[in-house]
């Protein structure tokens, strides 16, 4: 159990490090390519808004669809005695 938790922590640290550093690199790259700062600001704001709304959507979908489906399957197996 401890080994799985350690791997999960490493995965989470890598994900959030990438998620935090990517907008900085995108900003520098796009400004170097000639994109205006206003357009870049709008695109980054849209990306953050999509990430926020996506997390709400996927969280709701997971809690209300997949979890109930898995619970129903587990109850069927319990009833069958497996």
Confidence of residue 2 (pLDDT cuts 50, 70, 90): confident
The string of pLDDT tens digits covering residues 34-79 is 999 999 999 989 988 988 898 888 778 777 776 777 767 777 777 7
Contacts of residue 37, Cβ cutoff 8 Å, sequence gap at least 6:
31
DSSP 67: H
16 and 4 within one domain: yes
* Residue span of the structural domain in which 22 resides: 1-35
> 4 pLDDT exceeds 90?
no
* Predicted pLDDT of residue 40: 92
82 and 47 within one domain: yes
Q: Which residue has the tokens 């357009």?
A: 39
Q: Give the chain's domain count.
A: 2
């Amino acid at each position: 159990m401890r080994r799985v938790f350690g791997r999960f922590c490493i995965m989470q640290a890598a994900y959030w490090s990438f998620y935090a550093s990517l907008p900085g690199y995108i900003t520098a790259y796009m400004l170097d390519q000639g994109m205006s700062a206003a357009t870049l600001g709008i695109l980054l704001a849209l990306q953050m808004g999509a990430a926020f709304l996506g997390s709400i959507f996927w969280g709701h979908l997971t809690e209300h669809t997949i979890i109930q489906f898995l619970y129903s399957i587990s109850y069927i197996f319990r009833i069958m005695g497996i």
